Structures are given as C-alpha cells and as structure tokens.
Structure 1
Amino acid sequence: MLIALNKPYGVLCQFSGDGSRPTLAGYVREKDVYPAGRLDHDSEGLLLLTDDGRLAHRLTDPRHKQPKTYLVQVDGAMTDEALIALRRGVALNDGPTLPTGAEHAVEPDWLWPRDPPVRFRKAIPTSWLTVTLREGRNRQVRRMTAAVGFPTLRLIRVRIGDWALDGLPPGQTRRLL
C-alpha cells in the first residue's frame, strides 16, 4: 500500500507525540503505514506513507535518487546569480550539495493559505522558485536558500519521483497503490 498525504504546516512526521503538536495520527486513518521520508514540522506538502519496507527503502535511499520537487517562497527578490549557485550546488556546514534543479516560479493559483500566515513585510518582496533535489539532508532546501542569501519563508513538497500532490487538499490522503 502507498498513500499520499498533503501534510499541513505544523504537523510532526510521526504517529505519536507529547500532545503539544499535531501528529500524523490525526490525518492518516490507514493502519500499519509509516512515512517513507520526512518533512519538518514547518514544511508542508507531499508525504508518502507505506506498509512495504522495500518500497520505503526504494523511495528514501539516496542510491535510488528519487527526485523531490519543492515549491519555495523566499525572502527577497531571487537573483539569477543565486539560482545559478543553487543549480551548481552550494557549500553547507556538512559539505557541498549535489547540483539541483532550481527555477524562478510564480505563486500558483491552487495554493492554499498557510495557518499561521507567512510574515509579510511591505518593503521587502518575496520570490517563488521550484527546487528539485536528488539527496535529502536535514533541512537542506532551507539551508541552501539561506546560503545564497534568500531565507526560506514557506516550503511545500509537490512531487516525489512519479508521485505528485495533484490537487490533494491539506490534511487529506489519497491511496496510490
């Protein structure tokens, strides 16, 4: 079984917790499934869950290089130079990243409002971009955009390999396999 969840902002990628934050248990009704990968509590979007250990390994092991695509809102007007740096890979404190796909984007018309909203500063613009990774380090997209001078404000995973959000509303699941 493979299930897609559009993980809302603030939800922990685990089924149990101390009650201070919502967990997957509040959104996933299927039993005996586990996340194939993670999204930080302050990230949103596509999370795949499965009851098949081999499938989970294939989805998460870097040797299988499943591309993961994110829609990213950053603080400031993203420059072409910064995008080129992201594409080449940037130096992080745990070593250089692999080259990535990074492109300017527009805020999509299908995007749901975030709760709480992203901070708004009248004098400082924001930019949207898409970033596609083939590795998955801790908070990697956020660290990469900060390294090129554009801190991430909102991060939404929209695709993992062949699977995409495809209109799945936040907090909802869809059976894929």
Structure 2
Amino acid sequence: MKRVLPYPLLFLALWAMWLLLNQSVSPGQLIFGALIAFGACWAMAALGPEPARVRSPGAVIRLAGRVAVDVVRSNIAVGRIILGLAPPNRRSGFMTVPLDLTNHYGLTVLSIVLTATPGTLWMNYDSARRELLLHVLDLVDEEEWVRLIKDRYERLLIEIFE
C-alpha cells in the first residue's frame, strides 16, 4: 500500500477537506479530489520529511488547552483595542524572542500558534542566532511577552518534540 499511496492518512485528510470545501460528493468531485490528494501525497513523498515523534501526548493536550484559552483572551484584548476601550499607553511593535527550541516540527507548531493568536504575528526566525522576530499589537512589556512565550508554549513544545 505504501508503494502506491505513501501517506494514506494525508490522502484521506486532503480528500475529505476537498469534499468539504466544495460541499459536494458528486462523482466528478470525488474523482478530482482523489487525484489532487494523490498528487499531494506523492509531492510530500518527494520532499521526504523526517517522521515526527511526539514524546508526550499529555503535553499535547495541555498545549491545545492553553492555545484555546489564549486565543479567546487575545480576541477579547484585540477587540478592546479596536473599539478604543484599552488604555492609551498601548503600542504595537516588533520584538525578538530567544528560543531554546530547535526541532523543526516544534518551531512549526509555535509559528502556527503565534500567528493564529490574534495580536501576534511570527515574522522571521534566525536559525543561526535562534531568535524569533515577532510583531505584537499590544507591546507594553517585552520581558512579559518573552516569559509568556517561553513558559506557556516553548517549554511544552520542547517536552513534546525534543
């Protein structure tokens, strides 16, 4: 099976996503979605990614809970800023965060978490210096942001992937 379809779970996920996005299970959509998913699986096989190893499933659940809570909090905070309800001393800006995390999958998850959280945006990662350039909508205290990212996210990602 692996010779014909190198990533069967990826195939099923992409095929289901195609059908959901098109809101149709017509024969044409079924076939075209399967062809797209099949091609994407072979493109992924050509890239040859190293397998991800999750070392602590419990940490994955804790991270998901933290991200869910933080996304809700950030939505409220950004809404307050947009509506002019936040204190006037708030400013946006760029900051750097030194990271101990080196695993590619961990860095990818961190980038998704930070970009998906309203008010923050992953801008750049310097792998030589292991520094993250981050844009923050509500940048009052850089040290607080560094501590938040390292304590709430990076520590769990290191536990999960390294």
Q: Which structure has the larger Rg?
A: 2
Structure having the larger proportion of residues in strand: 1
Using structure 1 for the length normalisation, give the TM-score.
0.30
Higher relative CO (Cα under 8 Å, sequence separation at least 6) belongs to 1
